[in-house]
Amino acid sequence: MPDGWLHLLGLVKPAMREYLHTLYQFTDRWVVDDTKFRTAFGDHTTPLDDALAATLRWYRDTAELATPAAATR
């Protein structure tokens, strides 16, 4: 919805005015730069394949714990 319409709609529905504060998230480019974080904390990233394997392993182990013993027989 164009910001002009949000201004008009905000006259009758004040909650819609709040969208004007976040409109940039949908109209402007997002720039992500983690240089300051990496400088402060180092580059301790986990490769995607390792992270995915660990997540799936955790999910499988957690699901097994949550399953009643009678349901697995």
Query: 71 falls in which pLDDT band (50, 70, 90)?
Result: low
d(CA 65, CA 52): 20
**Residues with Cβ within 8 Å of residue 23, at least 6 apart in sequence:** 3, 6
Give the residue among 37, 9, 36 at the shortest CA–CA distance from 23.
Answer: 9
The answer to whether 17 and 10 are in contact (CB under 8 A) is: yes
Looking at residue 12, its pLDDT comes to 86
d(CA 23, CA 3): 8
pLDDT in tens, 4-35: 777 788 888 888 778 778 888 888 898 889 99
Where do the domains of the chain lie? 1-29
